[in-house]
Structure 1
């Protein structure tokens, strides 16, 4: 199964432009699952300016994106759970802790944030151990509250939030391209991940603070519409067999949204 070894460079390649004017080219994504709090995008070709390191301890845009990936896993996991696809749901519930959370612990400490290891594990265990649905839903809601406590979104500019949305969609495109190949479902888990990331990217827009939302109303509206235009790429959570899907539409949306952010 294709794991999240690619996410950190996916975020870095998009977000590097928040601190440098250079263009970051797409490269194979090979970062370790438990990424360090500071990392660099891939080396530039000769003559190009190297992308700066991205420090999750201080870069709110990258930090928010990584929390968004955790939310995306959980969103699709709960969607599958509610639809009765319990075994698929269990896999998605395990991945945030196994793949993503460890790479954020240093950033939580640096930011003097509590993190959410305990509620993350509690939800995963309740799903994996087939506990009562009411218990699972209660644990999920408690975890969402705990994640919100750690998110800097309320104090972020609309530009930086939208850049984070763009980075999430870029990784969603990577996932989708692995999930759907040659008009066929090649890896349903990655397709589902892309769906979750897209949903959280859209949800982020409604949480931009009022002052910034007013200032960037047009860019936010356009970004929301661009994401909604992708909906038909995910007609179901559990596709099988032949399936026409085009990841280039997601890549294009991510690029367009980045331009919207830079227009603010």
Structure 2
């Protein structure tokens, strides 16, 4: 039997994938094919390697086909893109429902996943918005898309909160409403646009996550120290290189993807809080370069050089977070 934390992490990832589709769809409605395609790529390019083993054990890997079909449609600017988008959305919703199941413990697990989603929104928002203005449109839209999923899923979950958690559930609803009327009131696709109540958004999202957990009596798990986290990331990258050297390309890609999604992403909020936006953005690109090189079948030497570049950036991370 897998742990609740494992189920929670899987659900959170699927919620984020659905959020990327929401952002993609909003761009699609505005005829912005470039950003529609960028967001459509994330579910498979960024997340798939991480969750495929867990989906395989549940016979849910068929969700990949509609995701690929939608990405292909956006890339070719197909007139059927909207149809493929809805099919991809539904495939993710079905997978979420299959994993979540039913019953009180299921609702509690969904609540834990939605609390983590709220924290993911805060992290993406912090990267996308600075001084009340959008400075990274894709990251802001990630936050917006994730929030659409949170808004759709959370009210039903809060309705099932136990009697002891009703006060906290009411606080969570108030936070959700405030955020809906504030920073996530409308979809934005222009850099430099001012965002309503941006200065309080991260605090409100943190309180929302805390209120969700309080409503269901969930304790937030404490993660490793930054030093331990960085050491884990370095080991994952080393593993990826060794796997690639052995000809195990898929496993190497999965390990490299985990180094970012399960490693560096957790450090981003602390780095942003300390004013190191450029370091975060640079390392995000460096991690992506490693993944892309593995996928494209570049030489072992080139991938080793790219990993060395990431490790140099991690040296800076350790200094900042020491």
Question: Unaligned 5+ residue runs, structure 1?
Answer: 1-54
The C-alpha deviation readout for 1:150-172, integer Å capped at 9, x for no partner, is 22223253222111111001011
Where do residues 25-174 of structure 1 align in structure 2 (5 Å cutoff)?
A: 59-132=6-79, 135-151=80-96, 152-155=99-102, 156-174=105-123
TM-score computed with the length of structure 1 as normaliser: 0.69
| Counterpart-to-counterpart distance in 1, 2:137 and 2:81 | 24
Q: Deviations over 1:174-223 (max 9, x none)?
A: 110010112332211111101111111122235659xx837569465543
| Distance in 2 separating the partners of 1:58 and 1:173 | 20
Shift of 1:71: 0.1
Give 5+ residue unaligned stretches, structure 2: 219-322
Out of 122-131 and 138-147, give the one that drifted further: 138-147
Question: Shift of residue 142 of structure 1?
Answer: 1.6
Relative to its length, the structure with more helix (as a share) is 2
Q: Please give the per-residue CA displacement for 1:13-43, whole angstroms capped at 9, x wherever unaligned.
A: xxxxxxxxxxxxxxxxxxxxxxxxxxxxxxx
Distance 1:143 1:207 in 2: 22
Q: Aligned to 2:135, which of 168, 186, 202?
A: 186
Specify whether residues 207 and 147 from structure 1 end up closer, same or farther in structure 2 by C-alpha distance, changes over 3 A only: farther
106-115 or 73-82, larger mean C-alpha shift: 106-115
Q: What is the aligned partner in structure 1 of residue 160 from structure 2?
A: 213
- After superposition, the Cα gap between the structure-2 partners of 1:116 and 1:222, relative to the gap in structure 1 and judged at 3 Å, is same
Aligned mates of 1:57, 1:161 — CA distance in 2: 10
Rate the CA distance shift 1:136–1:237 in 2: closer, same or farther, 3 A. Answer: same
TM-score (norm 2): 0.57
Contact kept in structure 1, 2:161 and 2:169, CA below 8 Å: no
Tell me by how many angstroms 1:56 deviates: 8.2
Quote the Cα distance in structure 2 between the aligned partners of 1:206 and 1:123: 28
Counterpart for residue 34 of structure 1: none
1:113 Cα shift?
Answer: 2.5
For residues 212-251 of structure 1, what are the structure 2 equivalents within 5 Å?
A: 213=160, 215=162, 218=166, 222-231=171-180, 232-234=182-184, 235-241=186-192, 243-244=194-195, 245-246=198-199, 247-251=202-206
Deviation, structure 1 residue 236: 3.4
Q: Assess, with a 3 A threshold, how the Cα gap between structure 1 residues 262 and 56 changes in structure 2: closer, same or farther.
A: closer
Deviating 4+ runs (over 6 angstroms): 55-58
CA root-mean-square deviation: 2.8
* Distance across 1 between alignment mates of 2:172 and 2:145: 17
Provide the rounded CA distance (Å) in 1 between the counterparts of 2:203 and 2:146. 16
Equivalents in 2 of 1:58, 1:182: separation in Å? 35
Please say which structure displays the higher CA radius of gyration.
Answer: 2
Task: For residue 64 of structure 1, report the CA deviation from its aligned partner.
Answer: 0.7
Q: CA deviation at 1:239?
A: 4.1
